[in-house]
Structure 1
Amino acid sequence: MSNVDVIRAHYAASDRGDLPGMLAPLGPKTTWTEAAGFPYAGTYTGPDEVRSNVFEAIGRDWDGYTFTLADLLDAGDTVVGVGTYTGTHHGTGKSFTARVAHLWRFEDGHVLSFEQIVDSAPVVAATREQS
């Protein structure tokens, strides 16, 4: 399976709500970085940390949180997914839309790292009550 096929399968699992399928490409040393300013900012290592610090946290805090893939770019050892996040915050009832890019880096056919680049402002704004 090519690198781009591995990431295509990750996004297909996301569309199905299949968390084990989403985590399948991650190894114990894979680093996953959520952008500074994003509610789940930080770097997590391995599928267990990603599950608890990213996906379970999103599930706890949001209704209908989705990533819609617009483009999947194959650059060999780097795969780039470009798309849009949407969701509605549980606590505030506010919805958001934010553009995002995912940089997936491979080494020897394995996911070495994931990096999120996102417009965090609309996401953060959806988490805040009106002043």
Structure 2
Amino acid sequence: MSKNLDVVRASYAASGSGDVTGIVAPLAPDAQWTEMAGFPYAGTYTGPQEVLDRVFARLGSEWDGYRADPEEFVDGGDVIVVVGTYSGTYRATGRRMRARFTHVWHLEDGIARRFEQFTDTALVREAL
């Protein structure tokens, strides 16, 4: 395994244990984090704090049991691709959601410079 893969795996392990600061720990101060157009938190955010505030704080306050479960990691050296499944229940509606995702991480020596999310946004929005 590469250092970059280890770093990305650790981010998902932090997610699974509810450690939101651990999720963004590998992000460079100027890292670009993009949530897909059509996703409730769509946009590109810069740096760990903005990602925490604009994505993960909302996920934590608006969803019960929200999870991003990785199922496959593809080690491309400086590019790590993760395939998995989102799930959770949107608090305002009580509707449950399950949607596949692909995340693409771009790293340099264990530091994430860019993250991009791909998912079936229609399945997520049905829960809203």
**What TM-score results when the alignment is normalised by the length of structure 1?**
0.94
Equivalent residue, structure 1, for 2:79: 78
Does the alignment pair 1:44 with 2:45? yes
TM superposition shift of 1:110: 1.8
The more displaced of 102-111 and 116-125 is: 102-111
Relative distance call for 1:60 and 1:17 in structure 2 (3 A) is same
Residues of 2 paired with 1:12 and 1:109: CA distance? 16
Structure 2: where are the runs of 5+ without partners?
A: none
Q: Secondary structure at the match of 1:91?
A: coil
What is the alpha-carbon root mean square deviation over aligned residues? Answer: 1.0
Give 1:96's aligned residue. Answer: 97
Which aligned segments of 4 or more residues in structure 1 are displaced greater than 3 angstroms? none
Matched residues in 2 for 1:96 and 1:15: separation?
17
More strand by share: 2
Match of residue 55 from structure 1:
56
How many residues align structurally? 127
Q: Which has the larger radius of gyration?
A: 1
Unaligned runs of 5+ in 1: none
Contact 2:99 2:124 in 1 (8 A): yes
